[in-house]
Amino acid sequence: MPSAAEEMRERCRSLLRAAGPAGMARSEVQAAIGAEEKTTSYYLHTPGLAIKGQTRAHEFTRWFAPEFADAAAAYVAARDAIVKDNKTARFSESLLDAACVAAVDGRTHEQIAEALGRNLRTVADVMLRLARAGRVQRMFWPIGGGVNGLMARYWALGAELPPLPEKEPSVRVRKSNAKPKHLHQKPGPKPGLISKKSLSTRRRALSPDALREAVQEKRIVSFALAQPIVPPGVKVTICPAGKDHRFSVSQPEPFFSREGYKPAFIGHDTWAAKVYGGNV
């Protein structure tokens, strides 16, 4: 089963064959197959489907079936000869006459293009040619401030032109590219500075009497004066306060004598003499 693209290409091929040596414009093929302009051009550029008779004036380009290649070459040669002999003969007389009829009541390029069914670029070139030939009246209407704030509007020959409105004076707005002031400021305090509010939280040290009074009134909790927490079933032994003499030496005994060449024990009743004997 052929796909949708293949069916569309076959329709284009049948249309070009039916047109014969006269060929078809791209807009005619587009209207016949009911596709968009970009899609129609994509199908027509399929290799082997059609021959493009592109002239110097792209306004007259036509498409031909491959079997009518001679007719396509003859058509391009004839159109190029007309453009070469008369460089102003880019547009047909019917298009120029239709543009003259549409150029009434101060219409703009957009309005004339909508009335003719042509693109804006083609209409702009047509109206420029008609204005230079003196077939239409043209005025540049101010649409805003600035140098280029003008819009071309067209009237038929013999029509009374309205007075041109005054153009608003252009006001130059100077805009600085400098960085805003608030973007230069870094958030938060500057490093190295201490806020005075942080110093207000400090408190003076209390005297021993004031500390004891504050603990009794339970305004503060002192770990030094607090009662220990004793779990149930634990035996508590309270040692009396005083100096601990458990690790102090009451009567130190000298080990060796520093007199003479070799050290010798002092006495024979010391514990060192009893342990080492005469081994030293």
Q: For 76-87, how does the pLDDT look when each residue is reduced to its tens digit (9 = 90+)?
A: 888 877 766 555
- Give the percent of the chain with pLDDT over 70: 69
The alpha-helical segments, DSSP class H, found in 103-192 are 109-116, 120-133, 181-184
Q: What is the mean pLDDT of residues 210-217?
A: 78
- Fill in the amino acid letter for 217: E
pTM for the model stands at 0.36
Task: Return the pLDDT at 265.
Answer: 47
Residue 155, pLDDT > 80, answer yes
Task: Return the pLDDT at 146.
Answer: 46
Q: What is the mean pLDDT of residues 157-176?
A: 76
154: pLDDT confidence band, cut at 50, 70 and 90? very high
Query: 65: left (phi > 0), else alpha (psi -120 to 50), else beta?
Result: beta
Task: Return the pLDDT at 117.
Answer: 85
Distance, CA of 280 to CA of 273 (rounded, Å): 9
**11-58 pLDDT, tens digit each:** 999 999 999 999 998 888 888 888 888 888 898 998 889 999 887 766
* Cβ-proximal residues to 89 (8 Å cutoff; 6+ apart), any chain: 82, 83
* Cβ-proximal residues to 157 (8 Å cutoff; 6+ apart), any chain: 134, 135, 136, 137
Angle of CA points 194, 198, 202, to nearest 5°: 125
Question: What's the mean pLDDT when you consider all of the chain?
Answer: 77
The answer to whether 19 and 65 are in contact (CB under 8 A) is yes
Domains in the chain: boundaries: 4-85, 93-155
Strands (E), the chain: 51-53, 62-64, 137-142, 150-155, 256-257, 264-265
Distance, CA of 15 to CA of 11 (rounded, Å): 6
The answer to whether 9 and 2 are in contact (CB under 8 A) is no
Tell me which of 249 and 117 has the higher pLDDT: 117
Q: Where is mean pLDDT largest: 105-109, 167-171, 182-186, 263-267? A: 105-109
162: pLDDT confidence band, cut at 50, 70 and 90? confident
Q: What is the mean pLDDT of residues 50-74?
A: 86
**240-258 pLDDT, tens digit each:** 777 766 666 666 555 555 4
231: pLDDT confidence band, cut at 50, 70 and 90? confident
- Give the percent of the chain with pLDDT over 90: 9
Task: Return the pLDDT at 70.
Answer: 92
Q: What is the mean pLDDT of residues 93-108?
A: 87
Distance of CA 267 to the CA centre of its chain: 99
Domain formed by 93-155, architecture: Orthogonal Bundle (1.10)
